[in-house]
């Protein structure tokens, strides 16, 4: 079989566009988000913006709405006990770029939003998860972010990136139907210091990409792998991971027909744990290609023979 084609490079904006609106305090930021229109570039000055911020405007493919700053532009929720530091809701075509998000129950929450790019953020010190794509949020990209120190309120909920909704919450979030947060891409992120999985991909999600991320499981206390794939048809490729309590990568079938048809390719797992590099539950219709490696895994590469791809 021919080798798979080389993947496209992970493209991220080099720097902030020229702002059309400049903000320097929490009130100005809230006003700018409320007034946002296609093509706006909201530039964050260095400083601390305390509060929980919500955006509901819709951009276009030709004129996205951009919120941009650098690591010294800090959105601070003030407490890890409650609140979303930044909530994108019922929106489309946003770019969230370059700034820091810290001190909320959740860092960045994306609900019912599409075609958003979340790139170059530093998301840290959260009570639960850092970045969550939820409630039929599709075609979004989470690219090149640095995520750390999650789960300070409840370690069980301390994921780095969380896609979709657990079946137990479908009636609260997605009208008792699968939360089809589909075709999302999670690439080029550096994730460490999470108390639960670095990335948790829920049942109900399909056809996403998890690629070229760096995982560190040394802080995990309420999970047993860097990545848990309960969705269907995901490509998990070119990721590197180190130090897991049990396995490197896992699949699970929480709901019939989900946790299947996922492909693992070109991943490097330095497990340093008692389990497997790639644990498939169920085995059926999931593929671990022989281009994957696992070292320091007490039970070896996978519970199924690898395939040639």
Quick one: average pLDDT of 136-162? 98
Q: Determine contact, residues 52/104, Cβ cutoff 8 Å.
A: yes
2: pLDDT strictly greater than 50: no
Fold observed for domain 39-302: Pectate Lyase C-like (2.160.20)
Calpha distance 247→301 (Å, rounded): 10
Q: Please provide the average confidence, as pLDDT, over all residues in the chain.
A: 95
Residue 5: what pLDDT? 46
Residue 1: what pLDDT? 32
Residue 65: what pLDDT? 98
Least Cα distance to 229 among 259, 206, 267, 204 occurs for 259
Task: Outline where DSSP puts E strands in 84-158.
Answer: 84-89, 94-97, 100-104, 106-111, 117-119, 122-126, 131-134, 141-143, 146-148
Per residue in 189-207, pLDDT tens? Answer: 999 999 999 999 999 999 9
Residue 14: what pLDDT? 72
Q: Determine contact, residues 290/308, Cβ cutoff 8 Å.
A: yes
CA of 128: how far to CAs of 60, 104, 150, 266, 267, in Å? 31, 8, 6, 30, 27
Whole-model pTM? Answer: 0.96
Domain layout of the chain by residue ranges: 39-302
Task: Say which residue the tokens 């049942």 belong to.
Answer: 203
């Amino acid at each position: 079989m021919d080798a798979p084609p080389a993947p496209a490079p992970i493209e991220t904006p080099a720097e902030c566009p020229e702002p059309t609106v400049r903000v320097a305090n929490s009130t100005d930021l809230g006003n700018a988000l409320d007034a946002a229109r296609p093509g706006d570039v909201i530039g964050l000055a260095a400083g601390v913006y305390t509060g929980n911020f919500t955006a509901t405007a819709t951009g276009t493919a030709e004129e996205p709405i951009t919120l941009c700053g650098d690591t010294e532009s800090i959105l601070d929720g003030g407490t890890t006990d409650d609140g979303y530091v930044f909530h994108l809701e019922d929106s489309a075509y946003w770019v969230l770029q370059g700034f820091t998000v810290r001190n909320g129950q959740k860092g960045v929450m994306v609900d019912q939003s599409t075609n958003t790019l979340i790139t170059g953020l530093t998301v840290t010190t959260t009570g639960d998860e850092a970045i969550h794509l939820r409630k039929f949020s599709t075609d979004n990209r989470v690219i090149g972010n640095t995520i750390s120190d999650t789960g300070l309120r409840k370690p069980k909920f301390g994921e780095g990136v969380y896609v979709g909704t657990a079946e137990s919450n479908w009636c609260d979030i997605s009208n008792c139907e699968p939360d089809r947060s589909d075709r999302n891409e999670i690439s080029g992120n550096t994730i460490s210091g999470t108390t639960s999985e670095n990335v948790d991909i829920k049942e109900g999600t399909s056809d996403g990409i998890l690629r070229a991320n760096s995982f560190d499981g040394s802080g995990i206390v309420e999970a047993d792998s860097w990545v848990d794939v309960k969705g269907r048809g995901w490509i998990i490729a070119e990721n590197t991971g180190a130090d897991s309590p049990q396995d490197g990568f896992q699949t699970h079938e929480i709901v019939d027909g989900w946790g299947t048809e996922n492909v693992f390719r070109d991943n490097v797992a330095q497990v340093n744990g008692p389990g497997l590099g790639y644990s498939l539950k169920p085995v059926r219709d999931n593929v671990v290609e022989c281009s994957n490696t696992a070292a320091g895994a007490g039970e070896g590469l996978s519970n199924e023979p690898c395939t040639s791809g």
